[in-house]
Amino acid sequence: MKPLLLTLLTGLLMLSCSEKKQSAADNPFFAEWTTPYGVPPFDQIKDSHYEPAFTEGMTRQLAEMDSIASNPDAPTFENTIVKMEKSGKLLTKVGGVFFNLTSANTNDTLQAIQARISPKLSAHQDNIYLNADLFARVKTLFDQKETLNLTGEQKKLLSDTYKYFVRGGANLNDEQKAKLRKINEELSSLYVKFGDNVLKDNNAFQLVLDKPEDLAGLPENVKTAGAEAAKAKKMEGKWIYTLHKPSWIPFATYSTRRDLREKIVTAYTMRGDNGNESDNNEVISKIVKLRLEKANVMGFPTYAHFILDDRMAKTPENVNGLLMKVWPPAIAQAKRERDDIQKMIDKEGGNFKAAHWDWLYYSEKIRKEKYDLDEEEIRPYLQADNVIKGTFILAQKLFGITFEEKTDIPKYFPEVRTFVVKNAEGKEIGIYLSDWFYRDSKRGGAWMNNYRSQSNMDGNRILPIIVNVGNFSKPQGDTPSLLNLDEASTLFHEFGHALHGLLSDVTYLSISGTATPSDFVEFPSQVLENWLLEPEMLKLYAFHYKTGEVMPEKLIEKIRKAGKFNQGFATTEYVAAALLDMGYHSLTNADNLDVKSFEKKTLDGIGLIPEVVSRYRSTYFSHIFSGDGYSAGYYSYLWSEVMDADAFDAFREKGIFDAVTAKSYHDNILSKGGTIEAGQMYRNFRGRDPEIGPLLKKRGLN
Q: Is 434 helix (H, G, I), strand (E, B) or coil?
A: strand
Helix (H) or strand (E) holding 468: strand 465-472
For residues 137 and 69, the answer to whether their CB atoms sit within 8 Å is yes
Q: Is 452 helix (H, G, I), strand (E, B) or coil?
A: strand
* Pick from 309, 275, 283: nearest CA to 295: 309
Name the active-site residue from 293, 494, 611, 641.
Answer: 494
Enter the DSSP assignment of 476: B
> Is 494 tagged catalytic?
yes
For residues 670 and 498, the answer to whether their CB atoms sit within 8 Å is no
* 358 contact partners, CB below 8 Å, separation of at least 6: 258, 261, 341, 345, 611
For residues 87 and 61, the answer to whether their CB atoms sit within 8 Å is yes
Locate the DSSP E strands across 228-327: 239-241
**On the CB side of 435, how many CA atoms lie within 13 Å of its CA?**
27
User: Strand 428-437 and strand 465-472: pairing?
Assistant: parallel
Radius of gyration of the chain (CA): 25
Enter the DSSP assignment of 496: H
Measuring CA to CA, how many Å separate 114 from each of 27, 191, 628? 19, 10, 16
Q: State which amino acid sits at residue 121.
A: L
Task: Give the number of other CB atoms < 10 A from CB of residue 609.
Answer: 17
For residues 42 and 412, the answer to whether their CB atoms sit within 8 Å is yes
Q: Is 418 helix (H, G, I), strand (E, B) or coil?
A: strand
Distance CA 578, CA 53 (A): 38
Range 658-665 contact pairs with CB under 8 angstroms and sequence separation of 24 or more = 662/397, 662/398, 662/399, 665/398
What positions carry a catalytic annotation?
494
